[in-house]
Structure 1
Amino acid sequence: MLLAAPAARASTADEDAALMKACPGLAVWAAAHPHGDGAAAAADAGRVFTRPALRSALTERAAADTRVRDAAMAKGKADQAAMQAVLQVDAGNLAWLKDVVARQGFPTIAQVGAQGMADAWLLVQHADRDSAFQLQMLRTLKGRGEAAGVRKQDLAMLTDRVLLAQGQPQRYGTQFEPDAHGALTMQPVEDRAGLDARRAAMGLMPLALYRCVLGASYHLPVAH
């Protein structure tokens, strides 16, 4: 989906409070699973980055990604200008990141820190026009193992994106699309009975809670 999933975008304190009010159980889950800018800042505290200019560039590009998606969320998919802005930013970010990877490989946590890695992941997650590149980066990150510097939740989301692009069912149920009636509907998923166990293994919230967060974030009904 063109718009970012809630787990992939920074949120304000007011937004977090509204989500926690709308979705009972979210506060407990969030306390046990630190995420977002605060967690990245804590992980980066005291670090010296070997590629600070690259880190800054990633920050700027991730901010542009979030900015145009927030605008598109506010206006709705019917606003063609807002959606075109999302596509343009994605295209520019993809071209830039592919150039970075061609010159030096995918960024590392030593180069750009936890926040830089989260920003780099976000650009890959939204590189839907080049699913082969997404697959290449997913393999790269998985090959690095625990040294990848990317959260398991984010690897799960990218895995689902890649599988769907290949015409296969997703594994972790992270990807939803509006149906003909405007309700967010989970795209095809493998082994539905084992879905919550797979989600838990990757640090993802239970599906029922995720559905609530999606609906509250996008102000749309969510199909069950």
Structure 2
Amino acid sequence: MNRAGTLLIALLVACPAAALAADEDAALAKACPGLAAWAAGHPHGSDVAAAADAGRPVSQPSLRQALATRAAADTRARDAMMAKGAPDPAAMKAILDIDSGNLAWLKGVVARQGFPTVAQVGKQGVADAWLLVQHADRDSAFQLEVLRTLQARGAEAGVRKQDLAMLTDRVLLGQGKPQRYGTQFKPDAHGALAMQPVEDATELDARRAKVGLMPLPLYRCVLGASYHMPVAH
């Protein structure tokens, strides 16, 4: 896989939810009929986290702030890449540098005290930590370690089902296996975004719905409109 293809895998993460919080939400809704209705029934992760965290004390506010700062840098770098409308070497390097720094820092946190909990950093802090793990593709063993931790914590993990699904797909692909939920795409030989191999494709949309992911046709539309690239079907 070439460097551009590898990076675009790292780029394609929580695009649908994040996109509706950005300035281009109206354009996306226009480009993808049904998106606004779907989003109305699936509240944005940040909105849900903010409501859950309202008035909640956390035991490690400095860690919570550090996670927020690093997640914001992650998002800014990816927004800058998307704004280019095409792969840009400088923007790609910026993302890789941020991901590398975030990975090293978060691994240090986990080694010292384990993966952050809701009690320590709130639901938004846990979501920010998840984002850093989701973009840690250069260390699939660490991604698997965190995924197992979150799965073991169950409802107490404070992570949405769709986020666990996306991390599951990253881990499976990192192991050379087909993904389960069809969240990960990469450019094909014709320059279109193509879904990477998936297990039991006939039941894919049913699995996606079960964890709160949007139907695949709508997801393809959002990816294409967000990244200004054709999407293979």
Match of 2:194, SS?
strand
Displacement of 1:74: 2.2
C-alpha separation in 1, matches of 2:82 and 2:53? 30
Deviation at 1:67?
1.1
Residue 77 and residue 88 in structure 1: after superposition, are their counterparts in 2 closer, same or farther (change >3 A)? farther
Q: Which moved more, 1:66-75 or 1:121-130?
A: 66-75
Which structure is higher in RCO with an 8 Å CA cutoff and minimum separation 6? 2
Superposition pairs of residues 120-135 of structure 1, within 5 angstroms: 120-135=129-144
Instruction: State whether structure 2 residue 200 is matched by structure 1 residue 191.
Output: yes
**Larger deviation: 8-17 or 87-96?**
8-17
Q: Is the 8 A contact 2:82 2:226 kept in 1?
A: no
- Give the Cα–Cα distance (whole angstroms) in 2 for the partners of residues 106 and 10 of structure 1: 27
How far off is 1:40 after superposition?
A: 1.7
Gaps of 5+ in 2: 1-8
3-state DSSP of counterpart to 2:70: helix
Percent identity between matched residues is: 76
- Give the distance between the partners of 1:77 and 1:215, measured in 2 at CA: 12
State the match for 1:117 in structure 2. 126
The residue type paired with residue 192 of structure 2 is A
Out of 32, 39, 49, the position equivalent to 2:48 is: 39
* RMSD, aligned CA: 1.4
Residue in structure 2 matching 1:138, options 132, 139, 147: 147
CA positional deviation for 1:36: 3.3
Residue ranges of structure 1 left out of the alignment (5+ in a row): none
Give me the whole-angstrom Cα distance separating, in 1, the residues matched to 2:214 and 2:41: 10
Give 1:172's aligned amino acid: Y
Offset of residue 10 of structure 1: 6.2
Offset, 1:23: 1.1
Q: 2:215 aligns with which of 175, 195, 206?
A: 206
